[in-house]
Amino acid sequence: MEEEHKEEQTEKSTEESKETTEKPTEETKVEEKKEPETPKEHKVEKHIEHKEKKRLSIKEIYDKQYKKLLIIPFLILLLAIFSIILKVSTTGDFINRDVSLKGGLTLTVPFDKEIDISALEIYLSSQFPANDVSVRALKQAGAYSGIVIDADIEKDSLEKLVSSVETSLKVTLGEEGYSVEVMGSALGASFFKETIRAVLIAFLFMGIVVFISFRVPITSLAVILAAFSDIIVTLAIANLIGMKLSTAGIAAFLMLIGYSVDTNILLSTKVVKRKEGTVLERIIGAMKTGLMMSSTTICAIIVALIFTQSEVIRQIMTILLIGLLVDMINTWIQNVGILRIYLGRKHKNAQD
């Protein structure tokens, strides 16, 4: 798959360079320097070329190799799609659902001492041999603040679960000493369907807004593709780190749709709609603003991740953090690459 992709890439760039050689603008400068390397047919030669390029600064690589750099986001996207397909074929589901999307019960107990989570889990599993019980610790700035127990048991067994926890922790919880969330399994499944549908509709709406505001198919598609890649790659990473998604987690994907495309919109507006400066200058300008936006958000998210004790907020923040990091690649490599190719062709057509 990878090889195919590279071939396609080389083909494209060959075409490109032929088309753009006569251009007097900065695009020409770019292509001229590329000229000697573009007609590459063999991988071996390519490698040598890479070594020669090492002397170039990052900025120059970013400026001149945008087509090659495009491989990175597309490769990540393909890997993500592949891992999700693999997940579906092995587990029949494309995410790990927690009890709020599957049905079952979540018990949250405030508890500030350090405990052996796995011992508690083993004990509870022995009490409920037929069920799937998992225990997590809630931490706030490194200190224990509580325990969360997820179990696919029915509501009738709640008392037994609470008393098992009490015996194991040697505490009495009382009626107000814990929170419990019970989700019927039919509702869990229907919630899952609902939220997925909400994500799809949100995505469609976002696409329409982008189309209307840019009115240029390629620009709009690039933004939509970036949002799509953000979601897919974030989903794959969430799966890889074993995150169990709740309804709030899916809501975080909705946030991601609205939030991560902001930098893409900034980029596309500046590069396509504005005229001052060179394309690269405009890209760098957008990037200064965009990276500033992402870094304030990421800093705030990290603070929240360290200090929050709410499982819901933690999940939302984790997904946003992954999403924003992924979005940096998708905006500043993928979207930039596509826009430059598009502008190059447009310029060529205009000259003809």
Partner 1 sequence: MHRIKKVFKNTRVIVLFIFILLAIVAIHPNPKAEGVAIRNVISNSSANLAGIKSTTPNIAPMSRERIIAVNNIPIKTVEDYYKGIGDLEPGRIVRITTNKDTYKLTVKEKTKTIELNETETKTVIEIVPVNKTINGSLVTVNETRSRIITVPKTKTILLGAEDIGLRVYKAPNTNIRKGLDLQGGTRVLLQPETKLDEPSLDMLLENMKERLNVYGLSDVVVRKAGDLSGNQYILVEMPGVNEEEVRELLAKQGKFEAKIKNETVFIGGRDITYVCKSADCSGIDPRAGCGRSGNAWYCRFRFSIALSQEAAQRQADATADLEILSEDNQQYLSEKIYLYLDDKQVDALNIGAELRGSATTDIQISGSGVGMTKQEAAINALQNMKRLQTILITGSLPVKIDIIKTDSISPILGEEFVRNALVVGLLAILIVVIVVFLRYRKLEIVTPMMVTCVSEVVILLGFAAIANWNLDLAAIAGIIIVVGTSVDHQIVITDETLRGESKKIFNWKERIKNAFSIILVAYLTTVVAMIPLLAAGAGLLKGFALTTIFGVSIGVFIARPAYAAVIEILLKQ
Instruction: Return the residues of window 172-201 that contact partner 1 according to CB under 8 A.
Output: 175-184, 186-187, 190-191, 193-195, 197-199, 201
- Distance in Å, CB of 43 to partner 1, minimum: 41
Q: Of the candidates 79, 81, 202, 221, which one interacts with partner 1 according to CB under 8 A?
A: 202
CA distance 254 to 266: 19
Q: Give the one residue of 84, 189, 206, 216 binding partner 1; rule: CB under 8 A.
A: 206
Residue 74 or 228: which CB sits closer to partner 1? Answer: 228
CB of 303 to partner 1, least distance (A): 5
Q: Which of residues 69-108 bind partner 1 (CB under 8 A)?
A: 108
Pick between residue 91 and residue 296 the one whose CB is nearest to partner 1: 296
Q: Is 217 in the site for partner 1 (CB under 8 A)?
A: no
Site for partner 1 in 132-171 (CB under 8 A): 140, 145-146, 155
Of 41, 50, 307, 351, the one binding partner 1 (CB under 8 A) is 307
CB neighbours of 10 closer than 8 A, spacing ≥ 6? 38, 40, 41
What's the CA gap between 152 and 182, in Å, rounded?
A: 9
- Ordered alpha helix ranges (H), 145-184: 158-169
State which residue, 84 or 313, has the beta carbon closest to partner 1: 313
What is the C-alpha separation between 210 and 215, in angstroms, rounded? 8
From the DSSP assignment, how many helices (H) and strands (E) are in the chain?
15, 6
CA-closest candidate to residue 279, choices 343, 335, 322 = 343
| 299 touching partner 1, by CB under 8 A | yes
CA distance 47 to 56: 15
Query: Roughly how many angstroms between the first and final C-alpha of the chain, as a whole number?
Result: 36
Q: Among the candidate windows 66-74, 76-84, 298-306, 339-347, which touches partner 1 by CB under 8 A? A: 298-306
**Token digits of residue 306:** 């360290």
Query: 169: exposed, middle or buried (C-beta count within 10 Å: 0-12, 13-18, 19+)?
Result: middle
Rounded to an integer, what distance in angstroms lies between the CA atom of residue 160 and that of residue 105?
13
How many residues bind to partner 1 according to rule CB under 8 A? 73
Whose Cβ is closer to partner 1: residue 47's or residue 215's?
Answer: 215
Per-position x/- string for 239-278, each x denoting binding to partner 1 as judged by CB under 8 A, each - no binding: --------xx--xx-xx-xxx-xx--xx--xx--xx-x--
Of 61 and 199, which has the nearer Cβ to partner 1? 199
